[in-house]
Amino acid sequence: MHRTQIYLHDALYDSLKVRSRSVGVSISELIRRTLEKDMQKDPVADARAYFSRLKPLESFADVDSQDYVRAIRSSTTFSIAVPAFPTGSRG
């Protein structure tokens, strides 16, 4: 095992103290566990899982997106408030 030194912001250090007490391990052990857990992650698999959750809903599978947006835009009305120019003399 290697010894190392790191600098932590006060808020992070305080959070580590609280968590280490609640888990019943030292701050060093908590940091080791957290790093080991993070190092085991597969970023490519995480990205695939994220984007697979973004697949369109089945209810929209047969909807043409451009037609859908056009329909929304045509049925939506809004007004743009144009500021009035001040009356009176210039300069």
Q: What is the pLDDT of residues 36-67, one digit of tens each?
A: 998 888 888 888 888 888 776 677 778 888 89
Query: Would you give the end-to-end CA distance of the chain in angstroms?
Result: 79
Q: What is the pLDDT of residue 12?
A: 96
pTM for the complete prediction? Answer: 0.48
User: How deeply is 73 buried, as exposed, middle or buried, from its count of CB atoms within 10 A (0-12, 13-18, 19+)?
Assistant: exposed
At 87, the pLDDT band (50, 70, 90 cuts) reads low
13 close to 23: Cβ distance less than 8 angstroms: no
Average pLDDT over residues 62-75: 85
Q: Which helix (H) or strand (E) holds 13?
A: helix 10-23
Give the model confidence (pLDDT) of 18-34 as tens digits: 999 999 999 999 999 99
Angle at 31 between CA 27 and CA 35, to 5 degrees: 175
